[in-house]
C-alpha cells in the first residue's frame, strides 16, 4: 500500500482531493472538472480509496466520493517543522520591510534625479 506521501505526490490526485474538499462529488463531475478521461479519474480514485484518503457512498444510482481528512494528519505532522521555518523567515522579511523607508528612492535615470540646466 502506498503512503499518503506517495499518493499526494501525483498532481491529478491532489486536484481530486482539492475538489473533494469542497463537497462530495460523483465520478462524472470529477471527470468534467478535471478534463481527464473517466478511466484515468477512476484509477486515481482507486489509489486514493486504497490509501483511505477518500470514501465512497452509494446515493441511488450514483457513487459519491468524499474526502477523509484523517489520513492527512501524517502529512500535516511532517510539515509542522517546515511551517515554523517558513514563519521565521516571513517574520524576518516583515522586520526587514518595516525597517525600510516609506518612500522609495527615485529610480536611476528618472526625470526627478536629473539636473535642470
Q: 81-111 pLDDT, tens per residue? A: 888 888 888 888 888 888 888 876 667 765 5
The full set of domain ranges for the chain reads: 4-68
What is the dihedral sign for C-alpha 58, 63, 64, 66? positive
Q: 15-60 pLDDT, tens per residue? A: 999 999 999 999 999 999 999 999 999 999 999 999 999 999 988 8
Residue 115: is its pLDDT beyond 70? Answer: no
Topology at the third CATH level for domain 4-68: Arc Repressor Mutant, subunit A (1.10.10)
Q: What's the whole-model pTM score? A: 0.69
Q: Return the pLDDT at 42.
A: 96
Beta-strand (E) ranges in the chain? 25-26, 54-59, 62-67
Q: Return the pLDDT at 109.
A: 66
Q: Return the pLDDT at 105.
A: 65
Q: What are phi and psi of 101, to 5 degrees?
A: -65, 150
Greater confidence, 26 or 116? 26
Amino acid at each position: 500500500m502506498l503512503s499518503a506521501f506517495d499518493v499526494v505526490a501525483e498532481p491529478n490526485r491532489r486536484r481530486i482531493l482539492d475538489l473533494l474538499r469542497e463537497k462530495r462529488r460523483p465520478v462524472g463531475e470529477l471527470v468534467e472538472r478535471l478534463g481527464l478521461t473517466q478511466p484515468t479519474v477512476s484509477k486515481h480514485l482507486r489509489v486514493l480509496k486504497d490509501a483511505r484518503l477518500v470514501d465512497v457512498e452509494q446515493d441511488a444510482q450514483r457513487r459519491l466520493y468524499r474526502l477523509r481528512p484523517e489520513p492527512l494528519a501524517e502529512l500535516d505532522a511532517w510539515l509542522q517543522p517546515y511551517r515554523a521555518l517558513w514563519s521565521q523567515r516571513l517574520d524576518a522579511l516583515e522586520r526587514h520591510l518595516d525597517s525600510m523607508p516609506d518612500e522609495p528612492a527615485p529610480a536611476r535615470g528618472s526625470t526627478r534625479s536629473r539636473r535642470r540646466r
